[in-house]
């Protein structure tokens, strides 16, 4: 397995891309993935559909080295597996082995995905208790375990419309076919159309198709065993080729959460994780996601889940004001003073409307340092960037909110929560904007034990810190 961190550079001579042939193959894999990025099942919602770039953005190739982009996840093709880890873990290279960093990354990806608002991802990981899987195998293992356990108790039979010629009436008669029977001397045979409760339905066909697909993409014996159990349970189900469009045809009851999650997994695996390169039939198995978008949605999903029904909360909005509207920062006019268009729509990550006063939270997937940390890490810059402050000032002035909070992730070496702020006076000193910045405890480190228990502990810590941010009065 080849491991990269976001934005990391590697010389071709130091990785699997030593030969030009390997580099050209990897480029063709990445270009194919980029063309199919909006079909990536679950993660497709995080890709900008307005991005017109025709060249892939996952990696950049230079004369003697390659550089990873802003995407995390894994790519498996041929005999190669490439995993890209979050940049927040790169500082741990001094004190952790590559295997340890992979495990930390996998745990955090699962946690963040489980709390996102835009996708349905399992919130329980009781079946995941091994440290040896790569991230693609973890996703496969989660799907396989959940699906196998669900099928043991419920094979999801459903009514299927069937046509059959029989001697006794069942359902209704197909009179157009019966007329043929009548005139050919077979009036005693009734062509019937009826609904039959069947295990061989579209939902189970999708599960079986997905399980057989995944069986081709894993070398792990434990995962193979679970997938084979699923295929055995569904032995009476027809083998048929299916697409994401077939998944959309399945009607799922809102009360059946497991069925919805399993179907979302199937969409992800069928829709974008398994792709063929036409020219040589090389199969690609992948899960890639823009890390910045994932972090933003994780924070919003967590806050919405935990705070939406608090008594002081009126509304929690994403990418807009208290009504979910995107107000323009400026109006563009021509030389006659006539309006041409509204410009620069304001899209704060999280707008919390409260009875006690509105606040804005903006997630920033960046590594920030205190002055002391910058000295220790030999970094030239520390603190918050001026562009982030300008952005928050625009929010406070235009949206009439006095307090903004910038939310940054913790790293393996920088774990304290910060909590200082900038005070900006404007309107001739008659108004004040306050911009606080925090480093949130959003990172699982090397804690041991069951993943469910680890996540519960981290979420309690995160909830406590967000409580202080959302409800503490910062009026000075």
Burial class of residue 194 in the structure, from the number of CB atoms within 10 Å of its CB (0-12 exposed, 13-18 middle, 19+ buried): middle
Tokens 């996998």 identify what position? 106
3-state secondary structure of 220: coil
3-state secondary structure of 360: strand
Q: What is the pLDDT of residue 405?
A: 93
- b/e 388-416 (16+ beta carbons within 10 angstroms → b): bbebbbbbbbebebbbbbbbbbbbbbbee
3-state secondary structure of 403: strand
Q: What is the pLDDT of residue 255?
A: 76
Q: CB within 8 A of 303, min separation 6: which ones?
A: 316, 350, 352, 361, 466, 470
| pTM (predicted TM-score) | 0.80
Q: What is the pLDDT of residue 476?
A: 41
Element (H, E) at 274: strand 274-277
Mutual orientation of helices 257-268 and 135-153 as an angle, nearest 10°? 140
Determine what percent of the chain falls in helix, strand and coil, rounding each to the nearest 5: 40, 25, 35
Burial class of residue 227 in the structure, from the number of CB atoms within 10 Å of its CB (0-12 exposed, 13-18 middle, 19+ buried): buried
In this structure, what are the phi and psi dihedrals at residue 315, rounded to the nearest 5 degrees? Answer: -165, 150
Q: What is the pLDDT of residue 150?
A: 87
Q: Could you give the CA distance from residue 48 to residue 71 in angstroms, rounded to a whole number?
A: 13
3-state secondary structure of 311: coil
Nearest to 356 by CA among 276, 250, 475: 475
Instruction: Name the CA dihedral angle for 397, 398, 402, 405, rounded to a multiple of 10 degrees.
Output: -100
Contact predicate 89/414, CB 8 Å: no
Q: Could you give the CA distance from residue 156 to residue 134 in angstroms, rounded to a whole number?
A: 31
Measured in whole angstroms, the distance separating CA 125 from the mean position of its chain's CA atoms is 16
- Tens digit of each residue's pLDDT, the chain (476 residues): 899 999 999 999 999 999 999 999 999 889 888 887 766 555 566 777 666 677 888 999 999 999 999 999 888 888 888 999 999 888 888 888 888 888 888 889 889 988 988 877 766 666 555 556 678 888 888 888 889 988 888 777 767 777 888 788 887 888 888 888 888 888 888 888 877 777 888 899 999 999 998 988 888 888 899 999 999 999 988 998 988 888 888 888 777 778 888 888 888 788 655 555 554 556 778 888 889 999 999 999 999 999 999 999 999 999 888 888 888 888 888 888 888 888 888 999 999 999 988 999 999 998 876 666 555 555 556 568 888 899 999 999 899 898 999 999 988 766 666 667 888 888 887 788 999 988 899 988 877 788 888 899 999 999 999 999 998 765 44
Q: Largest alpha-carbon pair distance within the chain?
A: 99
Per-residue tokens: 234? 């569904």
Contact predicate 226/148, CB 8 Å: yes
Tokens 């790169």 identify what position? 90
Contact predicate 264/115, CB 8 Å: no
Radius of gyration of the chain (CA): 27
Contact predicate 29/52, CB 8 Å: no
In this structure, what are the phi and psi dihedrals at residue 95, rounded to the nearest 5 degrees? Answer: -115, -5
Tokens 């009179």 identify what position? 175
């Amino acid at each position: 397995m080849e491991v990269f961190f976001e934005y990391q550079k590697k010389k071709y001579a130091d990785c699997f891309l030593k030969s030009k042939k390997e580099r050209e193959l990897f480029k063709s894999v990445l270009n194919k993935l980029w063309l199919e990025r909006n079909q990536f099942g679950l993660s497709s919602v995080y890709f900008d559909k307005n991005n017109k770039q025709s060249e892939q953005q996952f990696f950049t190739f230079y004369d003697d080295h390659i550089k990873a982009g802003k995407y995390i996840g894994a790519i498996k093709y041929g005999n190669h597996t490439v995993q890209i880890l979050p940049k927040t873990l790169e500082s741990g290279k001094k004190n952790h082995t590559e295997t340890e960093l992979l495990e930390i990354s996998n745990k955090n990806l699962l946690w963040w995905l489980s709390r996102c608002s835009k996708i349905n991802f399992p919130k329980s990981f009781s079946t995941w208790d091994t440290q040896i899987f790569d991230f693609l195998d973890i996703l496969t293992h989660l799907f396989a375990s959940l699906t196998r356990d669900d099928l043991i108790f419920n094979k999801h039979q459903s009514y299927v419309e069937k046509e059959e010629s029989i001697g006794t009436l069942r359902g209704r008669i197909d009179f157009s076919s019966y007329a043929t029977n009548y005139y050919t001397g077979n009036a005693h045979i009734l062509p019937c159309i009826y609904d039959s409760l069947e295990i061989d339905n579209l939902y189970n066909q999708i599960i079986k198709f997905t399980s057989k697909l995944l069986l081709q993409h894993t070398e792990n014996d434990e995962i193979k065993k679970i997938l084979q159990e699923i295929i055995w349970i569904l032995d009476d189900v027809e083998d048929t080729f299916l697409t994401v469009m077939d998944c959309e045809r399945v009607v799922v009851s809102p009360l059946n959460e497991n069925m919805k999650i399993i179907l979302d997994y199937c969409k992800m695996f069928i829709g974008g994780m398994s792709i063929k390169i036409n020219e040589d039939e090389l199969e690609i198995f992948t899960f890639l996601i823009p890390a910045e978008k994932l972090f933003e949605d994780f924070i919003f999903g967590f806050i919405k889940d935990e705070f939406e029904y608090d008594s002081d909360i009126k509304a929690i909005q994403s990418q807009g004001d208290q009504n979910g509207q995107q107000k323009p920062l400026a109006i563009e006019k021509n030389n006659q003073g006539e309006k041409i268009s509204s410009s620069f729509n304001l899209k704060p990550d999280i707008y919390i409307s409260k009875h006690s006063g509105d606040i804005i939270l903006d997630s920033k997937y960046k590594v920030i340092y205190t002055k002391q940390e910058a000295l220790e890490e030999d970094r030239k810059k520390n603190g918050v960037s001026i562009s982030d402050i300008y952005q928050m000032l625009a929010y406070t002035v235009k949206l009439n909110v006095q307090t903004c909070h910038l939310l940054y992730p913790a790293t393996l070496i920088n774990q304290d929560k910060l909590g200082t702020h900038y005070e900006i006076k404007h309107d001739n000193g008659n108004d004040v904007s306050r911009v606080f910045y925090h480093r949130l405890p959003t990172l699982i480190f090397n804690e041991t034990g069951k993943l469910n228990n680890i996540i519960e502990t981290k979420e309690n810590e995160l909830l406590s810190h967000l409580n202080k941010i959302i409800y503490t009065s910062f009026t000075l």
